[in-house]
Amino acid sequence: MKIKRWITIGAVASAAAILTALAIPPATRTFRTTASVQGVFQVPNPVATNTALLAFDTFTGGDLVNLALGTNLTAVITNLTLALEIDCGSSQASLVVFDTILASNVLTIATSTHIDALTGQDNATAAGPNHERYVMQMGVSTNGALVGGFLTVSGRLYLDPTNGCPRTVLVDTDSKHDRGFGDATLRDFGLKVRDTVTAGDAHLIGVVSVIFVDGTTNTTLLPFGQLTERRQLLP
C-alpha cells in the first residue's frame, strides 16, 4: 500500500514538472568534453577483393569535430572543441562543436531523443540533489563526413543543489562506481588548456555512417566510448 502511495505522489510530481517545463524553457549548460571512442568498420581485402576486412580505430573528441566539419582527421583546429550541452533538469542534451573564439556552438553532432535521469542528495540539509545518473538516446545529425546514426550514452553529472543545473567540481568524489559502469576520467588534451575541474563522466555505444576519403559512405560501429565533461563553456 505504501509503495502505491509513493508511486501516485511521484506521478503527480512528474506531471507538475512537465507543465513547468512547458511554461518556462529550462536553462542549459555547456561543458568542454574529452572523448575516446572505439570504432569498427570494413575495408577492402587486398588479397580477395570480393571480401572485406574489419578495421579498428580510436577517435578522440578532436576527430569527432573534424568528422562533423568534413575536414581531414589530421587537422588541428585549436579554437574548436567537442562539448556537451545539457539543460537544467536533464530533459534535453546535445553533443556540439563549440568555437572558443565566438563563444558559441557552431554545429550539432547529435541531439537527445530521450533521457532518463535519477538524482541523488548526499546531504539532507542541502537545498536539493547534488548529483545524478542518466541514460540518453541520441540521434546523430548529418554534417560533414557524418551521415546520421544513433548513440546511447550513460553517465553521471554533478548538480548545483540550489537550482538542479549541472556544474563542475574541483574534486571528483562520485567515481566509486566508474570501473563497474565503464566510466573513466579521460586525460585532458586539446586547446592547449588543461582543465582541473570536472562535471562528470559517461560512456557510449552506437552506430554512425561515415563518408570515407574515397567518397563511399560506410557503416561504422562504435562498440564503446568514454566521455569526460570538463570546464563550463556556456552560459
Which of 188, 180, 165 is CA-nearest to residue 34?
188
Residue-wise pLDDT for 125-170, tens only, equals 999 999 999 999 999 999 999 999 999 999 999 999 999 999 999 9
Q: Dump pLDDT digits (tens) for 201-227.
A: 999 999 999 999 989 999 999 999 999
Angle at 139 between CA 69 and CA 191, to 5 degrees: 40
d(CA 23, CA 100): 32
pLDDT band at 189 (very low <50, low <70, confident <90, very high): low
Cα gap 31→93, rounded to integer Å: 11
Tens-place pLDDT, residues 46-74? 998 889 999 999 999 999 999 999 999 88
Q: Which set of grid coordinates corresponds to residue 141? A: 545529425
